[in-house]
Structure 1
Amino acid sequence: MTFADHFETFHGLPVFTLPEMREPGEEKLPDADAVAWRLDCYEAGELPFDELWRSFTDRVPSTDVRALVVGPWWDDEYSDLRPALELMVADAERFPALRALFLADVTGEECEISWLQLTDVTPVLEGFPQLEEFGVRGGDSQGLGEDPLSLRPVRHEALRVLRFESGGLPGQVVRAVGACELPALERLELWLGVPRYGGDTTVADLAPLLAGGRFPALRHLGLQDSELQDEIAAAVASAPVVAQLESLSLSMGALTDTGAEALLEGQPLTHLKRLDLHHHFLSEAVADRVHAAFGSAGTEVDLSEHQTPHRWRDEEWRYVAVSE
């Protein structure tokens, strides 16, 4: 899948990309707390990230910045995120108002999602204890970076939204999320991806998330973009965590009638305000049953983007929405 557009809003704020430096008196920037600031080495005149970061902290009152979006952090060759992340974390005390951070607002034209060279993102949660929203895109399944996307279990009191977008999310990250203590977490979204791009998460890895109790404030759970979408649906159908949810997303993956039947035959889901199953491989008959079972109870059901399996010789191939 191609990410066609950059964020227009983030954390409830319009996104503003820091422009190239202008002469004194010519530059007019928004108030620091009025926008989500986006840093993009290309848009800033192909500056190296360390120079772009210094330019940002010199020109914008960092104490008032509420949200930050990091776009391409390389100015020439693709490079590892780690040095850029170390710069941001080292300056954490200069950003007491920062409540939201997204790493890698990058389109497919700029870099394929499986090429994005990330790193251990735990220092973000350790360095910004007031952070309420944290998102990451990528995973470097090509092994180009010095260290892969990873996470260590942490306790974070303020985090309300956690989102990993990947065409192949390492199982280690999923297990670490399940071992974190996040008492304020309301929304969790994991794009699991496919094995050939590093998505080696198993259904067993999801067990701590599905058991309930780990995240008492959780109201939305997204387990998405997986070739194992049927098996995940079957596990969710009897998962204790579902009772506390207001919305559930099993979208973007290879969901078939088998997974949908598991949801229909499992525990009641009619308390959900929204059930997102978009990008699926359901037959028309089963899709109608899902609409009838949940829609009639007032649940908003998204069954858009019906897919047709690809055929190769005598086999059918079902694909996820985001892998490359």
Structure 2
Amino acid sequence: MSVDHLDQLHGLPAFDFPLPDQEVVLPEADTVAWRISYNPYADESDEDFDGRFKRFLTSVAPSRVRALIIGQWGETYEGDADDAIEQLLMAKDRLTSLEAVFIGDIIPEESEISWIEQSDVTPVLRAYPGLRELGVRGGNGLSFPAVAHANLRTLRFETGGLPGEVVRGVAASDLPALEHLELWLGVEEYGGNATVADLAPVLSGGRFPALRHLGVQNSEIQDEIAAAMAAAPVVAQLESLDLSMGVLTDEGAAALLDGQPLTHLKRLDLDHNYFSAAMTERLRLALEPSGVKVEMSEKGDQQEYDDEVLRYTAVSE
């Protein structure tokens, strides 16, 4: 699976804020998700990320900006996101309509996902109490201590390795409006050491009463996660469940089918799986007649080496 630049955020099309020498007619401030990025290897201007962000604030009506996408802030595998986050914090009294932020819209050609140096992103939530959506790409150095936020509806972490400490911080947070939670757990080799036990407060169903979509994805322990979901109280309140991108086999699928009913779901995403043909058919017969849209088209990459079967998550390095 490729990791691409966002083409939209918060329902708004992404728009790249131009370089200093580009003559571009800018859209109205509230009609797009503004992407601000600085690639030190492709950008020939003397303007760094901080300078670009400051020029952005003087080029549009900042009080009308609804969505911001933070791309490269320089050499993202050496310098962390602190400076980019600091620019957001300093602009909090100007970006008064900001509803969505994505930090780290960086593709492999710019930096591999597990090389992106992240930071503590919770200051953004504290600075913007009206924020409804926060997304982050990259797990290296990522921190998310428990936080309270009354209005956040979507929280998304795209990583090749999500630290267990981050999962525990999310699970301990007070987010009463949270409707959509997406966690790419990744692999242990790249810092993905979260366990099913770390997810327990989320799976209990009492932590996030408004939650309607839960994604626990891209994990090498996907069968364990599926088995936990089979008895997790949170599933009853969901409209969609995403267990895609990981190492999900017939064992995990059988646990799901033998557990609590899933027929209330509108969508169950099991893409990038390692199912047998018989299990694929069993899942469809069990769920699709009840109206559940089951995604299972993409198969995972499997190799054999010295009689050992090797299976991989969709995104790691």
After TM superposition, is the score higher than 0.5? yes
Query: Is the contact between residue 251 and residue 276 of structure 1 (CA under 8 Å) also seen in structure 2?
Result: yes
State the distance in 1 between where 2:171 and 2:191 align. 19
Query: Is the contact between residue 18 and residue 44 of structure 1 (CA under 8 Å) also seen in structure 2?
Result: no
Query: Is the contact between residue 154 and residue 178 of structure 2 (CA under 8 Å) also seen in structure 1?
Result: yes
Which digits, 9 at most, give the CA deviation of each residue in 1:201-222, with x for residues without a partner? 0110010010001111100000
State the distance in 2 between where 1:280 and 1:76 align. 31
State the distance in 2 between where 1:89 and 1:215 align. 27
Q: SS of the counterpart of 2:125?
A: helix
Which digits, 9 at most, give the CA deviation of each residue in 1:114-154, with x for residues without a partner? 110101111011111100010000022xxxxxxx1001111
Greater mean alpha carbon deviation, residues 148-157 or residues 271-280: 148-157
Of 183, 190, 214, the match for 2:207: 214
State the distance in 1 between where 2:63 and 2:175 align. 25
Q: Which residue in the other structure is 1:124 paired with?
A: 124
Which digits, 9 at most, give the CA deviation of each residue in 1:246-284, with x for residues without a partner? 000000000000000000100000000000000000101
Q: Which residue in the other structure is 2:250 paired with?
A: 257
Whether 1:8 and 2:12 are equivalent positions in the alignment is: no
Cα distance change of structure 1 residues 138 and 77 upon mapping to structure 2, 3 Å threshold: closer
Query: Is the contact between residue 77 and residue 111 of structure 2 (CA under 8 Å) also seen in structure 1?
Result: no
Q: Which residue in the other structure is 1:290 paired with?
A: 283
Query: Is the contact between residue 219 and residue 245 of structure 1 (CA under 8 Å) also seen in structure 2?
Result: yes
State the distance in 2 between where 1:20 and 1:44 align. 8
Q: Which residue in the other structure is 2:178 paired with?
A: 185
1:21 Cα deviation after fit: 2.4
Q: Which residue in the other structure is 2:154 paired with?
A: 161
What is the Cα-based RMSD across aligned positions, in Å?
1.5
Q: Which residue in the other structure is 2:133 paired with?
A: 133
Whether 1:242 and 2:245 are equivalent positions in the alignment is: no
Greater mean alpha carbon deviation, residues 272-281 or residues 77-86: 77-86
State the distance in 2 between where 1:282 and 1:77 align. 36
Q: Which residue in the other structure is 1:143 paired with?
A: none
Query: Is the contact between residue 20 and residue 45 of structure 1 (CA under 8 Å) also seen in structure 2?
Result: no
State the distance in 2 between where 1:89 and 1:124 align. 7
Which digits, 9 at most, give the CA deviation of each residue in 1:291-314, with x for residues without a partner? 110111110000111235211102
Q: Which one-letter code corresponds to 1:122 in the other structure?
A: T
1:44 Cα deviation after fit: 6.6
Structure 2 matches for 1:44-123, cutoff 5 A? 45-46=44-45, 47-74=47-74, 78-123=78-123
Q: Which residue in the other structure is 1:145 paired with?
A: none
Greater mean alpha carbon deviation, residues 254-263 or residues 302-311: 302-311
Q: How many residues align?
A: 314
State the distance in 1 between where 2:257 and 2:287 align. 9
Q: Which one-letter code corresponds to 2:34 in the other structure?
A: W
State the distance in 2 between where 1:20 and 1:223 align. 37
1:6 Cα deviation after fit: 1.5
Query: Is the contact between residue 225 and residue 253 of structure 1 (CA under 8 Å) also seen in structure 2?
Result: yes
State the distance in 1 between where 2:28 and 2:176 align. 32
Cα distance change of structure 1 residues 76 and 178 upon mapping to structure 2, 3 Å threshold: closer
Query: Is the contact between residue 15 and residue 33 of structure 2 (CA under 8 Å) also seen in structure 1?
Result: yes
Q: What TM-score do the two structures reach when normalised by structure 2?
A: 0.96
Query: Is the contact between residue 77 and residue 117 of structure 2 (CA under 8 Å) also seen in structure 1?
Result: no
Q: SS of the counterpart of 2:72?
A: coil
Query: Is the contact between residue 255 and residue 281 of structure 1 (CA under 8 Å) also seen in structure 2?
Result: yes
Query: Is the contact between residue 19 and residue 44 of structure 1 (CA under 8 Å) also seen in structure 2?
Result: no
Q: Which residue in the other structure is 1:39 paired with?
A: 36
Query: Is the contact between residue 67 and residue 98 of structure 1 (CA under 8 Å) also seen in structure 2?
Result: yes
Q: What TM-score do the two structures reach when normalised by structure 1?
A: 0.94
Q: Which residue in the other structure is 1:144 paired with?
A: none
1:27 Cα deviation after fit: 4.9
1:77 Cα deviation after fit: 7.7
